[in-house]
Amino acid sequence: MNIKRRLPVTLLVVIIVLSFGVGFAYSQLLSPRAATGLPEEFDVLPEIWELLSEDYVNKEALDPEELSKGAIEGLLEALGDPYTSYIEYYEVEVSDLEGSFEGIGAVITMEDGELTVVAPIAGGPAEQQGVRAGDKILEVDGVPTSGMSLMEAVLMVRGPEGTTVTLLILHQGETTPVEIEIVREVIELDTVYLDMLPGNIAHLQITYFSEPTPDEFTAALNNALQNEAWGIILDLRGNPGGYVHVVVDVAGEFLDGGIVLYEADAAGDVIKEWPASSGGRATDLPLVVLVDGGSASGSEVLAGALQARGRATLIGTTTYGKGSVNIFRVLSDGSALYVTTARWLTPDHYLIEGVGLTPDFEVGITAEDIASGRDPQLEFAIEYIEAQ
């Protein structure tokens, strides 16, 4: 069964894949490189293996594959970077940005070391089985999630269409966990949605930045302009990112050239500029951008560029704060390293990483608002546009 849904605009977050971790990767699937120049501190590792082989009491536990994986994960964990991680099956992660995936239909992240549901997809299998925003996933098929990396958890939750996964869920505000069985499905989602609001205001929602997004956005913007839209509300709430070149393409419709973002090293020195193309069709229309805590990575880059360039007013709540450049490096065994290579800076050299963007107008939204079908952030944006 295929699910193709439009997410309601009142949701705080929308889907990209199952995690923020792969949010803003312009993936570069490169050939493996020979490991050379290891520092002398690594010389002890072969010694440890040799001693374990000779002396360890349980020789059956000396699985080279598992121990190698554990060593890799320990190495990366010592970096203290939540985004640099080891991927056993990188094809799974890359496919997410092509427009569909197989899974339970939910956004998950690591929150204070706990696997947490950011939001289920409306109408998807997770929501149908009672998974709710804020739920803690304690176990996946009987395996505790404590101590897992986000990528490990994602790969366990994901799986082929028609297969079943059992989650031990602790609902927010409750003390007793419950087991929930979910049959995985193919989830296909458009990335751009248009509502023409009363008064010819275009409400354009981008859920994430994938390969189909530019064509979808062009069609939606054409539709809005043909309907004589004079103002635009760009909704990036819950948008966890995507491909950088797609973000820059979209920015070009609102910015007549100039810088969209900078790529910087750890010292903050610029190593690459990302300019917008000129000739955008919405460079003069009044523009408001909606953001929230689920707006991460690529959506923060776009919102930050429009804010820094004085092109748009940001309304909502502080964004997630993922401003790192990540790429895939393919390893010799078909696995991959998802590695942070740089940081993103807005056109005014503001560092997004770990901080996020502060909206020009702080407007919250409550669970009661969502339950009642109210969207005070969108309401505020409409009033703001109408006052221009």
Q: Is the pLDDT of residue 92 over 50?
A: no
Instruction: Please give the structure tokens belonging to residue 145.
Output: 């999630």
Residue 85 and residue 223 in one domain: yes
| Amino acid at site 223 | N
Q: Is the pLDDT of residue 47 over 50?
A: yes
Residue 223 and residue 152 in one domain: no
Residue 125 and residue 213 in one domain: no
Q: Is the pLDDT of residue 89 over 80?
A: no
Task: Please check whether residue 41 lies inside any domain of the structure.
Answer: no
Task: Please check whether residue 81 lies inside any domain of the structure.
Answer: yes
Instruction: Please give the structure tokens belonging to residue 384.
Output: 């703001």
Residue 15 and residue 117 in one domain: no
Domain that holds residue 150: 105-188
Contact 293, 12 (CB under 8 A): yes
| Amino acid at site 240 | P
Domain boundary among 188, 209, 236: 188
Residue 134 and residue 220 in one domain: no
Residue 195 and residue 320 in one domain: yes
| Amino acid at site 307 | Q
Q: Could you report the per-residue pLDDT of 131-168, keeping only the tens digit for each?
A: 887 789 999 999 999 888 777 788 889 889 999 999 99
Domain boundary among 188, 215, 243: 188
Residue 15 and residue 80 in one domain: yes
Residue 249 and residue 375 in one domain: yes
Domain at 245, CATH number: 3.90.226.10
Task: Please check whether residue 12 lies inside any domain of the structure.
Answer: yes
State the CB neighbour count (10 A cutoff) for residue 286.
Answer: 18
**For helices 244-251 and 213-226, what crossing angle results, to 10°?**
20
Quote the pLDDT of residue 16. Answer: 32
Contact 302, 207 (CB under 8 A): no
Residue 177 and residue 109 in one domain: yes
Q: Could you report the per-residue pLDDT of 340-375, keeping only the tens digit for each?
A: 889 999 999 999 998 999 999 999 988 788 778 899
Q: Could you report the per-residue pLDDT of 231-283, keeping only the tens digit for each?
A: 999 999 878 788 899 999 999 999 999 999 999 998 889 999 999 999 999 99
What are the b/e assignments for 115-140, b being 16+ CB within 10 Å? bbbbbbbbebbbbbbebbbebbbbbb
Q: Which residue has the higher pLDDT, 101 or 78?
A: 78
Question: What average pLDDT does the segment 17-26 reach?
Answer: 37
Contact 305, 227 (CB under 8 A): no
Domain boundary among 188, 205, 229: 188
Least confident interval from 39-48, 113-122, 177-186, 312-321: 113-122
Task: Please check whether residue 39 lies inside any domain of the structure.
Answer: no
Q: What percent of the chain stands above pLDDT 90?
A: 48
Quote the pLDDT of residue 96. Answer: 53
Dihedral class, residue 259 (left if φ above 0, else alpha if ψ from -120 to 50, else beta) = beta
Q: Could you report the per-residue pLDDT of 195-235, keeping only the tens digit for each?
A: 999 999 999 999 888 888 999 999 999 999 999 999 999 99
Q: Which residue has the tokens 């969502």?
A: 370
Q: Is the pLDDT of residue 33 over 60?
A: no
Look at the pTM and tell me if it is higher than 0.85.
no
Quote the pLDDT of residue 11. Answer: 28
340 - beta bridge partners? Answer: 326
Residue 303 and residue 347 in one domain: yes
* C-alpha span between 72 and 91 (Å, rounded): 19
Q: Which residue has the higher pLDDT, 28 or 72?
A: 72
Q: No. of H helices and E strands in the chain?
A: 10, 20
Contact 135, 119 (CB under 8 A): no
Quote the pLDDT of residue 7. Answer: 35
Number of structural domains found in the chain: 2
Task: Please check whether residue 212 lies inside any domain of the structure.
Answer: yes
Domain at 117, CATH number: 2.30.42.10
Residue 262 and residue 341 in one domain: yes
Task: Please check whether residue 3 lies inside any domain of the structure.
Answer: yes
Task: Please check whether residue 294 lies inside any domain of the structure.
Answer: yes
Residue 87 and residue 163 in one domain: no
